């Protein structure tokens, strides 16, 4: 199938990918625009994973105060250069992360930041719950492991469903933005303040 300049233009407007990337994606998918979008997303996420090792020394600190002024968030998100820190895509991502923290109340950015004490405490609770449901020991272990994964999805920012699109995790959103802007991004730290807490 012949790929027209109009096809490339349409794909480019939809994905913000480069002209050659759009052209190649359309060639790879025989001109199917929907498949080309998926192709570019997969390629972009693969590129994002390659960039993950790059150092992030620039970025910004965003504040978000929820209407009513009873809840506020400060979040630091880093990128590689000052140039990217000033782009709308980066600023939108940082603002979305601040809103996510306000709405979903995570405890930590990454799973590794949770103390072993908290994990052990939760595991023991889940095992006891399963045993109280008269489950055999080996089944109770599996149930507890499943529930601890659900716990991570609730309290670890990177594993939470994005409030604007619950089918996408924050980790997936971050990789999508990395692919779009062409630089590594890392959510470094945050503080969430709620009146009276």
Give pLDDT tens digits for 61-74: 999 999 999 999 99
pTM score, whole prediction: 0.70
Q: What are 105-141's pLDDT values in tens digits?
A: 999 999 999 999 999 999 889 888 888 888 888 888 8
Higher pLDDT, 21 or 189: 189
3-state secondary structure of 101: helix
Q: Domains plus CATH for the chain?
A: 5-51 (1.10.8.10), 58-109+156-194 (3.30.479.20), 115-154 (1.10.286.20)
CA dist., res. 48 & res. 93, Å (int)? 15
Percent of the chain with pLDDT over 70: 89
Kindly state the tokens that stand for 156.
Answer: 């670890």
Phi and psi torsions of 189, nearest 5°: -165, 165
Give 183: exposed, middle or buried? Use CB within 10 Å, 0-12, 13-18, 19+: buried
Q: In the predicted model, is pLDDT for residue 56 greater than 90?
A: no
Residue 53 has a pLDDT of 57
Diameter of the chain measured on Cα atoms = 65
Nearest Cα neighbor of 48 from 174, 194, 191, 162 is 174
What is the number of other CB atoms lying within 10 angstroms of the CB of residue 90?
A: 22
């Amino acid at each position: 199938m012949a790929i027209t300049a109009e096809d490339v233009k349409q794909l480019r407007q939809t994905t913000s990918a480069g002209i050659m990337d759009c052209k190649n994606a359309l060639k790879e998918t025989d001109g199917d625009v929907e498949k080309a979008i998926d192709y570019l997303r997969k390629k972009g996420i693969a590129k994002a994973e390659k960039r993950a090792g790059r150092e992030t020394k620039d970025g910004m600190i965003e504040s978000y105060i929820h209407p009513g002024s009873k809840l506020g968030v400060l979040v630091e998100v880093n990128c590689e250069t000052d140039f990217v820190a000033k782009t709308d895509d980066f600023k939108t991502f940082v603002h979305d992360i601040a809103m996510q923290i306000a709405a979903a109340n995570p405890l930590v950015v990454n799973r590794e930041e949770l103390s072993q004490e908290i994990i052990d405490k939760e595991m023991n609770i889940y095992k006891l719950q399963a045993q109280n449901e008269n489950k055999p020991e080996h089944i109770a272990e599996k149930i507890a492991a499943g529930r601890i994964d659900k716990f991570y999805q609730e309290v670890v920012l990177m594993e939470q469903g994005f409030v604007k699109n619950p089918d996408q995790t924050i980790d997936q959103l971050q990789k999508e933005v990395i692919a779009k802007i062409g630089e590594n991004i890392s959510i470094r730290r945050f503080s969430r303040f709620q009146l009276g807490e």
